[in-house]
Amino acid sequence: MNMQGKNTPMPRDDIRSRLGLRPVINVSGTMTSLGASIVVPEAVEAVSAILTEFVELGDLHRQASKTIADLTGAEAGFITASCSAAISLAVAAAMTGPDLAAIERLPDTTGLKDEVVILSGHMVGYGAPVEQAIRLTGAKVVPVGQTTHAHAYQLRGAIGEKTAAAVYVVSHHVVDYGQIPLKVFAAVAHERGVPVIVDAASEYDLTGFLADGADLVLYSGHKFLGGPTSGIVAGPKERVRDVYLQNRGIGRGMKVGKEGIVGALAALQAWKTRDHDGIRAREKKALDCWVEALEKRPGIKAEIVPDPTNNPLDRLKVSVDPAEARITAWDIADRLAAGDPPVIVRDHEVEHGHFYLDPCNLHPDEEFTVAVRLEEELDRARKSNTIIATPFEERLLAREASILKWPD
């Protein structure tokens, strides 16, 4: 594929150079570690406008609640610091209800129902363990079933007199087979009078989870919605109120500022008029560009695959045969990330010999730069006298060691 003249994106005023940061290109997805998403212009404008003004936050939250209700079909909504914070606050609310004294006592759960059931296959990490977001409230985590094997009878058996809530996670990280479907999960929990909290941080669907039985559904405002870092809670008015009241307790340290509320509110409003078909067309253009760049490459198989949780987007799965490509999938991923410009791929399954390219966070023409970088690294590997194959165990340990090197 001829990429001449296409290897540099259109110039933009880039604050990253002023801050001494690498100008990374994100083909990993809506990842918090990379800044989540490109914030929509409506949210950028709203955040800028509110920063110099004073507001009554309670009233601002009321306005946001109306917008969340309009988009989700719920009775009410609430914006907090992140979806992780929303998990903690929703669990806390299930334990305390509107009891202000109990809210102030948490994480002391004396006298409260304080157990939370969750499928073992849903106890995943998203940068931190999902169960830690539950334990922060003082609640006790009760796993249901085995990691790859869960049944309704196991959920019934796990629910007892101390059960305050049931948490259900929708994510590409969870085990994608042998789990209890949400409708069944919610029906069993409701038989026992237990509310269901759905963590749907990275999901497009703003109505389906409530329809399937969720009492509260939680989203990230800063992922597909394209708002600033925030979490969104939707559900019945009294339950959402109880989540909001946690700002008087453990939620104080998870509070969201006026800019976060207004930015998320603007992103939600923009969602209603966003050109979703146009976005899909731009993403398809990037995918086709990458397929063309990788076709006929020895040891490389590129295939367009759908999102595993049924979001309306596709990614490119790049499978690597080291014997033919002369390099492993993880070494390609690492070299792309270390190059100029750095290209960060979706490598959470890379030990299986593949990685993904996600087109949802590209600036104009960056797909061409990604294609050029792929070609550069694959050409270099083909010239190597030996197969470039860092032992995967070494890679894991090196990444673990690098965590402790911060801030150096």
Q: Which residues pair with 166 in a beta bridge?
A: 117, 196
DSSP conformational letter for 9: P
Model pLDDT, residue 173: 82
Model pLDDT, residue 3: 52
Instruction: Measure the CA–CA gap between 238 and 344, rounded to whole angstroms.
Output: 42
Given a cut of 90, whether residue 322 has pLDDT beyond it is yes
**Residue position matching structure tokens 């490459």:** 297
Residues 150 and 173 in one domain: yes
Instruction: Measure the CA–CA gap between 61 and 348, rounded to whole angstroms.
Output: 36
Among residues 221, 251, 271, the one where a domain terminates is 271
pLDDT: which is higher, 204 or 92: 92
Determine the average pLDDT of the residues in 50-79. 94
Residues 207 and 63 in one domain: yes
pLDDT: which is higher, 312 or 327: 327
Model pLDDT, residue 245: 97
Residues 165 and 264 in one domain: yes
CATH number at residue 196: 3.40.640.10
Model pLDDT, residue 36: 82
Model pLDDT, residue 4: 46
Does any domain span residue 8?
Answer: no
Q: Which residues pair with 79 in a beta bridge?
A: 232
Residues 213 and 315 in one domain: no
Inter-residue contact 119 to 166 (CB < 8 Å): no
Alpha-carbon Rg of the chain, whole angstroms? 23
Residues 253 and 123 in one domain: yes
Given a cut of 60, whether residue 6 has pLDDT beyond it is no
Does any domain span residue 88?
Answer: yes
Q: Which residues pair with 119 in a beta bridge?
A: 144
Among residues 210, 237, 271, the one where a domain terminates is 271
Does any domain span residue 151?
Answer: yes
Model pLDDT, residue 127: 83
Determine the average pLDDT of the residues in 375-396. 91
Does any domain span residue 3?
Answer: no
Determine the average pLDDT of the residues in 223-241. 92
Inter-residue contact 158 to 144 (CB < 8 Å): yes
Residues 246 and 258 in one domain: yes
Model pLDDT, residue 309: 83
Does any domain span residue 4?
Answer: no
Model pLDDT, residue 308: 84
The total of other beta-carbon atoms located within 10 Å of residue 302's CB is 19
Q: How confident is the model at residue 190 (pLDDT cuts 50, 70, 90)?
A: very high
Sign of CA dihedral 94, 176, 334, 229: negative
CATH number at residue 326: 3.90.1150.180
Instruction: Measure the CA–CA gap between 327 and 320, rounded to whole angstroms.
Output: 8
Determine the average pLDDT of the residues in 102-123. 96
* Amino acid at the residue 38: I
Range of the domain at 260: 41-271
Model pLDDT, residue 1: 52
Q: How confident is the model at residue 205 (pLDDT cuts 50, 70, 90)?
A: confident
Determine the average pLDDT of the residues in 121-133. 91
Residues 21 and 63 in one domain: no
Model pLDDT, residue 312: 84
Does any domain span residue 232?
Answer: yes
Query: Of the given ranges (54-63, 222-231, 253-262, 338-347), which has the lowest mean pLDDT?
Result: 222-231
Inter-residue contact 261 to 64 (CB < 8 Å): yes
Task: Please tell me the total count of domains within the chain.
Answer: 2
- Listed in sequence order, the residues at least 6 apart from 101 whose beta carbon sits closer than 8 Å to its beta carbon are none
Model pLDDT, residue 5: 43
Residues 196 and 320 in one domain: no
Given a cut of 80, whether residue 367 has pLDDT beyond it is yes
Please give the structure tokens belonging to residue 79.
Answer: 């914006």
Model pLDDT, residue 17: 84
Does any domain span residue 141?
Answer: yes
Instruction: Measure the CA–CA gap between 250 and 137, rounded to whole angstroms.
Output: 7
Instruction: Measure the CA–CA gap between 48 and 241, rounded to whole angstroms.
Output: 28
Among residues 219, 245, 271, the one where a domain terminates is 271
Instruction: Measure the CA–CA gap between 388 and 392, rounded to whole angstroms.
Output: 12
Q: Which residues pair with 165 in a beta bridge?
A: 116
Residues 334 and 237 in one domain: no
Model pLDDT, residue 10: 44
Q: How confident is the model at residue 236 (pLDDT cuts 50, 70, 90)?
A: very high
Q: Tell me: the pLDDT tens digits for 329-350?
A: 999 999 999 999 999 999 988 9
Residues 120 and 67 in one domain: yes
Determine the average pLDDT of the residues in 365-385. 93
Does any domain span residue 1?
Answer: no
Q: How confident is the model at residue 390 (pLDDT cuts 50, 70, 90)?
A: very high
Q: How confident is the model at residue 261 (pLDDT cuts 50, 70, 90)?
A: very high
Residues 254 and 285 in one domain: no
H-run or E-run covering 177: none
Residues 341 and 311 in one domain: yes
**Residue position matching structure tokens 């960056």:** 366
| Residue closest to 173 by CA, chosen among 286, 29, 319, 35 | 29
Model pLDDT, residue 222: 83
b (16+ CB within 10 A) / e for 173-187? bbbeeebbebeebbb
